[in-house]
Structure 1
């Protein structure tokens, strides 16, 4: 039994502490799922401007932390960084090489909150009314 403890201590010294749910942390930019308030995909972060959902959550949760995907351009992240400064929220850019995820932004608490719906839905473009053919516009 004592030998097993020594091996555990040696392995921890060599490889570091064992991480709980490493796949989940990799997917959500180093944050556990139960701490997340809101998640945006890379595509949503790259859109022009900032999402109003993020700002409303920032207003309500001033102790939250923003984690940004560092592989995105500065222009895309700049608006969210300004929002974070405006509300006094800390933000971090994560750009580790082993991080392969579609997540662009995570707004999270430092403790577990177990929120069910964390993904922000994409804005659906309004369908434009169909144009009349040119010949109907001339002869009608």
Structure 2
């Protein structure tokens, strides 16, 4: 219809500069272009279409979406907007990651996004957490999602957090001196001695444990992390 089509992109090579690795592309017209150039040209091509062409394109292909291949790895969000991210495996653990609590309290945090492929029994604790902290949350059901992203705290703007992946909880707490038995007792009752160990190692982890009371001991319960029994 007279408007220029976005050129086919052919990967060429990569190089490093002060901003890090950048991929260079060669188009059918023989021009070297960065990913940012491609995005800019795609937007320009779209803006140059008249309203009829835009309507026809949307009717056939749907509305244009930037960085689709990136967003399917981050629950439909731009990577640059992710503050903290958990894998599916981490979300399925009984414990709540304190890093997510901190991220939701971050003034830049706009919402919590959760992978809908994870069972409700595992994501409920994070839904409740979001409600408690006054943050909206979205459960995403999208067959196009890729990778292991299970949950993300995201902003409405670019934050460019250098490392938003959260370290494995068991590994982190083991390095802080906690036993595997105590780490795996998350969600259960532990004695005051074990609770003190948790507080010394990471006060934020207290949310994941319940204190064993005298009444509990009377009824035959015992600490799930040590040999302390009634």
Query: Which TM-score bucket, shorter chain as reference?
Result: 0.7 to 0.9
Q: In the TM superposition, what is the alpha-carbon distance from 1:60 to its structure 2 partner?
A: 2.5
Q: Distance in 1 between matches of 2:109 and 2:149?
A: 21
Taking the TM superposition and a 5 Å limit, the aligned residue runs for 1:99-110 are 99-110=145-156
Shift in CA distance, 116/56, structure 1 to aligned 2, threshold 3 Å: same
Structure of larger gyration radius: 2
Given the two structures, how large is their TM-score scaled by the length of structure 2? 0.51
Cα RMSD between the aligned structures?
Answer: 2.1
Q: Distance in 1 between matches of 2:133 and 2:152?
A: 16
> How big is each residue's C-alpha offset from its partner over 1:24-50, in whole Å with a ceiling of 9 and x where there is no partner?
110000000111100000010011121
Given the two structures, how large is their TM-score scaled by the length of structure 1? 0.81
Question: Structure 2 stretches of 5 or more lacking a match?
Answer: 4-48, 180-230
Q: Distance in 2 between matches of 1:37 and 1:62?
A: 8
The residue that corresponds to 1:134 in the other structure is none
Which of the numbers 141, 145, 148 marks the counterpart of 1:95?
Answer: 141
Query: Aligned residue pairs: how many?
Result: 127
The residue that corresponds to 1:85 in the other structure is 131
The residue that corresponds to 1:3 in the other structure is 2
Question: Structure 1 stretches of 5 or more lacking a match?
Answer: 129-140
Q: Distance in 2 between matches of 1:38 and 1:12?
A: 33
Q: In the TM superposition, what is the alpha-carbon distance from 1:17 to its structure 2 partner?
A: 2.2
Greater relative contact order (Cα < 8 A, sep 6+):
1
CA contact (8 A) 1:62 1:88 kept: no
Q: In the TM superposition, what is the alpha-carbon distance from 1:101 to its structure 2 partner?
A: 2.3
Q: In the TM superposition, what is the alpha-carbon distance from 1:102 to its structure 2 partner?
A: 0.5
